[in-house]
Chain A
Amino acid sequence: GNSVTQMEGPVTLSEEAFLTINCTYTATGYPSLFWYVQYPGEGLQLLLKATKADDKGSNKGFEATYRKETTSFHLEKGSVQVSDSAVYFCALSDAGTQGGSEKLVFGKGTKLTVNP
């Protein structure tokens, strides 16, 4: 079945450092790919998405490119801030078998801590 593997944290960086969180996937067909972010004590927020190969999703300085040849969707940010401290989840869409529900398959999450 479809699956997502992302680097396990925790990741600790200093402010203004470069961030990469690796994500690779296994899927049949052409799923959409997502990064969600979860701030402490909150639900998940969609950070960015890409729907086809070579698409680049971007938001709030974060970027990820849908690489079909390497089945990857790595998250990057050039200069992190303390406010970026959160747990980041990579996910792919997994078309449901019943009535059009599209389920998401999530990675286990990577906790990022940014120190001032």
Chain B
Amino acid sequence: SQTIHQWPATLVQPVGSPLSLECTVEGTSNPNLYWYRQAAGRGLQLLFYSVGIGQISSEVPQNLSASRPQDRQFILSSKKLLLSDSGFYLCAWSPSPGLASTDTQYFGPGTRLTVL
């Protein structure tokens, strides 16, 4: 069966510091991968998605970036955090094209980021 991991689970960082959040998926190959942010009291905002190694699409211009160095690894980064970057960051995966139910996404447990 497939599992998705995120770490760290919680993170407190000062403004201006760098960020690296990691997401890995097990039990599947060539998944589509997604990063979302959920700000307090708000819905989910899609930040990035990737259909393959090195292929990143950005949905919202901001000071965050994403990378996919390996097939099942997705990293969210920032060089300098802003207060507005605080939120709950969720990674998700969906089956690769050619398999059934490619439209269903499966979410990780999330990372709670607080920028002070």
Answer whether A and B are interacting partners.
Answer: yes
**A residues bordering B, Cβ < 8 Å?**
31-32, 34, 36, 41-46, 49, 51, 89, 93, 95-96, 98-104, 106-109
CB-defined interface of B65-92 with A at 8 Å, one 1/0 digit per residue? 0000000000000000000000000101
A-B contact pairs, 12 of them (CB 8 A): A42-B110, A43-B107, A43-B110, A44-B107, A96-B51, A99-B52, A101-B50, A101-B94, A102-B32, A104-B46, A106-B44, A109-B44
Contact across chains for A100 and B107 when beta carbons are under 8 A apart: no
Contact across chains for A96 and B49 when beta carbons are under 8 A apart: yes
Contacts between chains A and B (CB distance < 8 A), count: 66
Q: How large is the interface on B (under 10, 10 to 19, 20 to 34, 35 or more residues)?
A: 20 to 34
Question: What 5 A-B pairs come out closest when comparing CB atoms?
Answer: A100-B97, A93-B103, A108-B43, A43-B107, A99-B51
Q: Looking across the interface, which residue of chain A has its beta carbon closest to that of B109?
A: A43
CA distance A34 to B107 in the complex (A): 14
Residues of A close to B94: CB separation below 8 A:
101-102
A33 to chain B, nearest CB (A): 10
Determine if B28 is an interface residue (Cβ-Cβ < 8 Å).
Answer: no
Mostly, the B contact residues are strand
CA distance A9 to B94 in the complex (A): 29
Residues of B close to A108: CB separation below 8 A:
42-43
Q: Looking across the interface, which residue of chain B has its beta carbon closest to that of A108?
A: B43
8 further contact pairs, Cβ within 8 A, besides A96-B49, A96-B51, A100-B51: A36-B107, A43-B107, A44-B90, A49-B104, A89-B44, A98-B51, A101-B51, A103-B49
Given contacts A32-B103, A43-B107, A45-B107, contact A99 B97 (CB under 8 A): yes
Contact across chains for A103 and B46 when beta carbons are under 8 A apart: yes
